[in-house]
Structure 1
């Protein structure tokens, strides 16, 4: 789009509402200098004339400059104007138009207009080719970005992966592949929380027994209250707010905030982790079984639920059973480092 012509149109419309006068003055402005004869300017001018219903003026303008080899013909707008103008195109004229389009390599651009379909079926073929190319470019670009996503994932560049996913969601808002990648990304984030857990973190810490700063506690309560309020008003953000509360180690608040979130796979995994942090072991065991059934099609479900079940059993004092579950998990996945470290600690105790 030409900013020069767009600004000129706006300026002229502020001076007068007479579209014929605006069209005449724009024509004079463009024709006043060879520098104005570029595709952006001519396209903006042609768009204005067509939208204003001045199709005949556009046809006359273009025809008057056809002898100028440097004149860029705005083919889709020209064809639209010809279709709307009170003209009856003969076979010779249509043939000349097609030759001009082919010589300038503008088949894809010309195919944007359907105004002359009744004169020449070839335009429909060009349109099909254009749609095919757009779809092909769409798939190619998506594949390139998805390959970048996999690269970022393998390098564990979480933030870059998140930003690329956001870009993909804007480019392909209804694409099922992108929606699946987004869900899996959030699920992996929940699983990452699990894998980073330190078993020692659940042991009593003398720092926790110290008296906490009242001002800090008051600020934390205010923040959590605000998160809860905003989660209720904007459920789409509830999942992210729950993670914030989780990171602040306010697990009961995180659980309460999470209730406003849509119950996606990421929701299920984060809820299980929060239940573990809240030491709600019986409730955790019940929901682990439900998640196993709901997500049985996911290959990682068995390992993640086994890891959680073992910790819940340990928390309930069923230590022998917990160790057996963890050993079974490691038998299937010997390189599960978090499970191996946890089992070593349990065995030592």
Structure 2
């Protein structure tokens, strides 16, 4: 039984004593009819018990007495209507007007919204439910956006374990969401590519990967469909929710659709996060000259933080290395390693570059 635990224990105790159901109903009603104040949880438990016991007539009479005494502050109009429906086919207009007036006065729609017939009869209850649904959808969207941003942050800083945990949390919370499914698919393909690259060429050069990598016709067809889907969605979001273009860019980046990713991030509202995501896209697509120019723009226009300073040095080093300026790149990484040795596997990268 949902509701008040003490009432549930009391009813159970009366059953244990061998009392009949009729006697228990009478004792419970007699006790609470004497109360000057009945809490919402107590009212809910009494309603549940009497309905389950098959005595909606007793519940209806009990509610009438409570109304007369005004003993239930947050009156459960939904439960009241449920009891009334058990023995009367329709609600008189006068009683409906009383319910509607009381609801408009106290705004206690929650219990009333549990009665489908009241929802259909009283517009304010329907509006309340619509508002609750919108609030729920808004909160879920905010949660999803936050988790996708966290996923991108973990991916950006190569926090593999945290990335996996965040993705699994997204899958658990939004199992039917198309965007989450696409992120999951991209994550699985990324892991498969990493495994294959280690097996086929353990020391493959990042900077030639995008130039020589080939896909099967089936993969190309799948990527083409993804590109089309993302492009269609971006047109809709640019009008309805431009802030969501940031997350859509992350999705495109997961599938290594670099040109599309740049188009999307340029359409998104400009922010600290979007500018750094653009830097990562330029890095991943090996556009090193554009990356250096973009880093200069970020440093000039955006407020710096320790994390952004480290990111700038790291990406600048990668750009110089990609342009063949090995010594400058190593010097930059060494300065970064002196401050934060564990930053994005900096020490391992220095070792690799020195021996390349």
TM-score, normalization: structure 2?
0.53
3-state DSSP class of the match of 1:53? coil
Q: CA deviation at 1:273?
A: 1.1
In 2: Cα distance, 1:25 partner to 1:289 partner: 77
Aligned with residue 2 of structure 1, among 1, 4, 21? 4
Aligned twin of 2:139: 141
Question: Which of 126, 130, 140 lines up with 2:124 in the alignment?
Answer: 126
Map of 2:60 onto structure 1: 59
CA contact (8 A) 1:111 1:127 kept: yes
Label 1:168 to 1:153 Cα distance change in 2 as closer, same or farther (>3 A). closer
Equivalent positions of 1:322-337 (< 5 A) are: 329-331=286-288, 334=291, 335=315
| Structure 1 partner of 2:305 | none
- Which of 18, 21, 34 is equivalent to 1:19? 21
Given that residues 19 and 52 in structure 1 are in contact (C-alpha distance below 8 angstroms), is that contact kept between their aligned partners in structure 2?
A: yes
Matches within 5 A, 1:54-93: 54-72=55-73, 73-86=75-88, 89-93=91-95
Aligned to 1:47: 48
Q: Does 1:295 align with 2:223?
A: yes
C-alpha spacing 1:346/1:76, structure 2 compared with 1 (3 Å)? same
Structure 2 match to 1:207: none
Q: Report the count of equivalent residues.
A: 240
Query: What is the CA-CA distance between 1:64 and the residue it aligns to?
Result: 1.3
Aligned to 2:69, the other structure's residue is in SS state: coil
Alignment check: 8 A CA contact 1:75 1:109 kept: yes
Q: Is the 8 A contact 1:76 1:113 kept in 2?
A: yes
Cα 1:107–1:267 shift into 2, 3 Å: closer
262, 266, 271: which one pairs with 2:192? 271
Correspondences of 1:122-271 after superposition (within 5 Å):
122-123=121-122, 125-149=123-147, 152-153=150-151, 155-156=153-154, 169-180=171-182, 183=184, 264-271=185-192
**2:108 maps to which residue?**
106
- In 1, the alpha carbon distance for the partners of 2:317 and 2:41 equals 60
Structure 1 residue 29 displacement after superposition: 4.1
Deviation string 1:170-217 (CA, Å, 9 cap, x unpaired) is 554433344445x2xxxxxxxxxxxxxxxxxxxxxxxxxxxxxxxxxx
Q: CA offset at residue 137 of structure 1?
A: 0.7
Return 5+ residue gaps in structure 2 as ranges: 203-208, 228-251, 259-282, 292-314, 327-351
Tell whether the 8 Å contact from 1:55 to 1:81 is kept in structure 2 after alignment.
yes
For the aligned residues, what is the CA RMSD? Answer: 4.2
Distance 1:3 1:266, change over 3 A: same
Q: Is the 8 A contact 2:77 2:112 kept in 1?
A: yes
Aligned to 1:211: none
The alignment partner of 1:44 has SS state of: helix
- Distance in structure 1 (CA, Å) of the matches to 2:142 and 2:285: 39
Cα deviations by residue, 1:25-44 (Å, 9 ceiling, x for unpaired): 32244346556x11111112
CA contact (8 A) 1:76 1:111 kept: yes
Gaps of 5+ in 1: 184-263, 305-325
Contact in 1 for aligned 2:113/2:129 (Cα 8 Å):
no
Q: Deviations over 1:26-78 (max 9, x none)?
A: 2244346556x111111121122223321111101111121223423211110
Q: Secondary structure at the match of 1:65?
A: helix
